[in-house]
Amino acid sequence: MTKIIGAEIVDVRFPTSLELDGSDAVNVDPDYSAAYLRLVTDEGPDGYGLVFTAGRGNEVVVAAIQSAVDLLPDEEVETLLGHLGQVSKALVHDSQFRWIGPEKGAAHMAAGAVLNALWDLKAKQAGLPLWELLARMSPEELVEVVDFTHLRDAITEAEALEIFTRGQDGKEERIAALKQHGYAAYTTSAGWLGYSDDKMVRLAKEAVADGFTLIKLKVGASVDDDVRRMRLAREAVGPDIKIAIDANQIWEVHEASAWINALGHDVYWVEEPTSPDDVLGHARIRREISPVRVATGEAVQNRIIFKQLLQAEALDFMQIDSTRVAGPNENIANLLLAAKFGIPVCPHAGGVGLCELVVHFSFFDFAVVSTALENRVIEFVDHLHEHFVAPVTVVNGRYQAPGAPGNGAEMYADSVSRWTYPAGAGWEELRSSGRITAIASD
Amino acid sequence: MTKIIGAEIVDVRFPTSLELDGSDAVNVDPDYSAAYLRLVTDEGPDGYGLVFTAGRGNEVVVAAIQSAVDLLPDEEVETLLGHLGQVSKALVHDSQFRWIGPEKGAAHMAAGAVLNALWDLKAKQAGLPLWELLARMSPEELVEVVDFTHLRDAITEAEALEIFTRGQDGKEERIAALKQHGYAAYTTSAGWLGYSDDKMVRLAKEAVADGFTLIKLKVGASVDDDVRRMRLAREAVGPDIKIAIDANQIWEVHEASAWINALGHDVYWVEEPTSPDDVLGHARIRREISPVRVATGEAVQNRIIFKQLLQAEALDFMQIDSTRVAGPNENIANLLLAAKFGIPVCPHAGGVGLCELVVHFSFFDFAVVSTALENRVIEFVDHLHEHFVAPVTVVNGRYQAPGAPGNGAEMYADSVSRWTYPAGAGWEELRSSGRITAIASD
């Protein structure tokens, strides 16, 4: 039997704000960061998880992960991995800890990091990438890991079992197809708000040359700029490429539709038009901008908000995020909700490790849950993959099926050490070269 | 000019779980706790704020408060206090820190602690209790402190100015009336789920004798128990006392109404029937249990959820909490929303210091915002007030007007020291006497 003998939690930050990579209307200067967790075992592989953040605040998530680790039941690894639904509930519904959520913010992300690390362990012990481990679990095992609390007016355990059972038909063919053809990706690399028109146009053309059929532009700082950038992007990519836009929550509910409609119906989807908490606002905006479609999810705090977005007919694409919610357990709940309501899942990615972690859910979704590919595409941003032991690969606009055992969260020890904040060598060099003058925690 | 020269942040916990004080269907064993902040200035008074929690997790909020303090603009105290709206935005919308919310959970509570401490300073410098400081601010000054982001489809700056301006009429009379007569309280002390029937009945009778006209029972563990406790409570208090019930989020949306309706229309309100995130769920339950009314708010993460609860006609009473949201700034937004929609505010209190902090908003609400008292009542729980320098006083079922300068958050240094977790003398004594065997962080 295996024991967890320690947890290493590291504040890792990359100085992306120096290049305005990742800049948008709200996130003007992110330092892409990870609150990084290694669950150390006494034998066999370790388990890795992380929470993506935008820099400041990463230290709070580091503290929250330590607290979440302390909530783990004192059991052998094999016992924990055999009852990940119970473990999820122990972390998420702890009778004291839940007060500082419940099920939202830093504490919830921290529970997700611990669950991600446990699933990484489970997949490594099985010698499978996470998506294939999930795809090979029985319908009953899958139902056990999902927390249906406050979901049952929308989907019950019995309905979930039915969905997973139906997903067994043709599963092997779909797994084989995923391994052969991968899964469609789209790119946001061209459209950051801090980029010049020239850089955006050049990158948009490169995206098409690289095989992407959907690109995304950040909008929301100036309607004139957005109209111009949309026109330039359309000229650059030609008529057959889809262009989505992303407002990153910038608009008031009653102002969004005028701005969006100024961009015309050429917009494939508008992402995060307003507060991620605003279910009714999303529903209103969706009515007002039809036929332009609404996408949201990277900042949706938990399955209960997704449930309502679906019930209120407030979104056309569900953008799950791999490190905001309570791990694979809650994202399986999200996939079930999307399947029940017939809405495609198009995951959020980018940041640090989000691509590596989130692809597993789309691959699993096709294998066993929605069993569909239409209108489904996974975000891809070509940043920071070099730090990961098993980075994603995108070929001709398609994510290749992850093959390495685990969930993809493991980073190279050298990268973790170099970019540990604030004392890692990378940060020291930036400071001594004068590229950064001080840091908040100094 | 005054400078902030330090911030002391302490993890204070009281061992309330030993007595089942505060127990309900979800919070089965809370150790009432405070992440306690003292903003130290170089001259004049210090500013105090706190975040109430249920025990485990308090350490995460302590870490988050340190991070929020680091976000404070580097300005003199007088400059900060003159622009508390801008300060609020600097804390709540920081371009990096917001990722771990946005505007929810530990990070948002931490912003609230810092804002509470700044308002405490402002009130102490003015020599006024917070409620009276607010009541004496001009309509324009009040509008400046409120963050209308993602609220403007429901209420605008212009409408808020109109509400505050209307509130100037008769203000002095209302302030005088508050000082003379106080504000109606209700009590939850009788109804904790961990109490025996005999203890509940005895305390319910005492509540009536003490002048309370509304008591509240915790429900949700067993419908048979709840029916029996409701009947016993009604027999104990007689026909003229209102009895509210509180489910603390325990039910699924589609299950709530059957349980509530089993208790009959004698229930004055049902509180937190389901997830605090579930706007649509609250609206459905409210339709299904009419004429029984719905109250919620102690776990509502921010003004955007309250906005939707009002827009969806999902609640009859808004239960603001003083330490879950972004300080007085956001609670003024909540009062404005309630006034606009004509819904009474009945604050959540209890815990540690929640009574001391929250009464100010109801007093201010009557003085300047809703200017009404009908159906409005503030929760009172008779716990832990002895640790506060200026504790609330309740006489004949009414909160007396706070008179001490500040917001009420300041605790005695001896209490803070004794119950610092885990090393305070109080905790050491419990450990050495065997009343607790170990602590999670050991």
What does the mean pLDDT of chain A come to? 96
- Is A279's CB within 8 Å of B274's CB? no
Query: How is chain B split among helix, strand and coil, in percent rounded to 5?
Result: 45, 15, 40
Neighboring chain B residues of A56 at a CB cutoff of 8 Å: 67, 70-71, 94, 96-97
Cα of B51 to nearest chain A Cα, Å: 10
Torsion of CA A360, A97, B327, B130, to 10 degrees: 180
The residue of chain A with its CA nearest to that of B150 is A252
CATH class, domain A4-128+414-432, is alpha beta
Could you give the percent of chain B with pLDDT greater than 70? Answer: 98
Question: SS3 of A213, please?
Answer: coil
Bond preceding residue A139 cis, omega within 30 of 0: no
The rounded distance, in Å, linking the Cα atoms of A34 and A52 is 5
| Cβ-based neighbour number of residue B258 at 10 Å | 12
- Is B299's CB within 8 Å of A64's CB? no
- Name the more confident of A162 and B190: A162
The whole-number average pLDDT for the span B130-153 is: 98
- Is B67's CB within 8 Å of A55's CB? no
Angle A321-A324-A326 (CA atoms, 0-180°, nearest 5)? Answer: 105
Neighboring chain B residues of A107 at a CB cutoff of 8 Å: 57, 60, 105-106
The CATH T-level fold of domain A171-411 is TIM Barrel (3.20.20)
CA A344 to chain centroid = 15
- Name the more confident of A195 and A126: A126
- Name the more confident of A99 and B19: A99
Q: Token digits for A34?
A: 């990870």
> Is pLDDT of A5 > 70?
yes
Q: Out of A96, A153, A311, whose CB is closest to B30?
A: A96
- Is B277's CB within 8 Å of A104's CB? yes
Cα of A253 to nearest chain B Cα, Å: 6
Provide the annotated active-site residues of B: 218, 348
The residue of chain A with its CA nearest to that of B253 is A153
pLDDT, position B267: 97
Q: Token digits for B434?
A: 């065997």
Neighboring chain A residues of B253 at a CB cutoff of 8 Å: 150, 152-153
pLDDT, position B20: 67
Question: pLDDT band at A433, cuts 50/70/90?
Answer: very high
Q: Out of A57, A96, A152, whose CB is closest to B67?
A: A57
**Spans of all domains in chain A:** 4-128+414-432, 171-411
> Is pLDDT of B19 > 80?
no
Q: Token digits for B252?
A: 């699924």
Neighboring chain A residues of B305 at a CB cutoff of 8 Å: 277
- CB–CB of B12/B411 below 8 Å? yes
- Is B30's CB within 8 Å of A249's CB? no
Going by their DSSP bridges, the two strands A242-246 and A267-271 should be labelled as parallel
Question: pLDDT band at B441, cuts 50/70/90?
Answer: very low
Question: SS3 of A93, please?
Answer: coil
pLDDT, position A27: 77
Neighboring chain B residues of A440 at a CB cutoff of 8 Å: 70-71
The CATH T-level fold of domain B171-413 is TIM Barrel (3.20.20)
Q: Out of A26, A94, A108, whose CB is closest to B105?
A: A108
pLDDT, position B23: 73
Report the DSSP beta bridge partners of residue A243.
A215, A267
What does the mean pLDDT of chain B come to? 96
Report the DSSP beta bridge partners of residue B267.
B243
- Is B57's CB within 8 Å of A99's CB? yes
Select from A56, A69, A301, A436 the residue whose CB has the most chain B CBs within 10 Å, as the one to mutate to test that interface: A56
| Tens-digit pLDDT profile for residues B327-350 | 999 999 999 999 999 999 999 999
Rounded to two decimals, the pTM is 0.97
Cα of B171 to nearest chain A Cα, Å: 33
Sign of the C-alpha dihedral computed for residues A219, A221, A226 and A229 taken in this order: negative
The residue of chain B with its CA nearest to that of A35 is B100
pLDDT, position A442: 37
> Is pLDDT of A14 > 70?
yes
Cα of A218 to nearest chain B Cα, Å: 16
Question: pLDDT band at A21, cuts 50/70/90?
Answer: low
> Is pLDDT of B131 > 90?
yes
Least confident interval from A133-142, A192-201, B358-367: A192-201
Neighboring chain A residues of B59 at a CB cutoff of 8 Å: 63, 67
CB pairs under 8 A between A and B: 212
- Name the more confident of B40 and B189: B40
The ipTM, to two decimals, is 0.97
Query: How is chain A split among helix, strand and coil, in percent rounded to 5?
Result: 45, 15, 40
Question: SS3 of A4, please?
Answer: strand
| Tens-digit pLDDT profile for residues B246-286 | 999 999 999 999 999 999 999 999 999 999 999 999 999 99
The whole-number average pLDDT for the span B123-139 is: 98
- CB–CB of A3/A31 below 8 Å? no
pLDDT, position B21: 67
| Tens-digit pLDDT profile for residues A86-98 | 999 999 999 999 9
> Is pLDDT of B440 > 60?
no
> Is pLDDT of A440 > 60?
no
The contacts of residue A308 (CB under 8 Å, 6+ apart) are: A279, A314, B277, B278, B279, B280, B281
> Which DSSP helix (H) or strand (E) runs through B4?
strand B4-13
Residue A186 dihedral angles phi and psi, to the nearest 5°: -130, 165
Question: pLDDT band at B442, cuts 50/70/90?
Answer: very low
Cα of A36 to nearest chain B Cα, Å: 15
Q: Respond yes or no: is residue A348 known to be catalytic.
A: yes
pLDDT, position B110: 98
Cα of A299 to nearest chain B Cα, Å: 8
Question: pLDDT band at A20, cuts 50/70/90?
Answer: low
Burial bucket for residue A80 (CB in 10 Å: 0-12, 13-18, 19+): buried
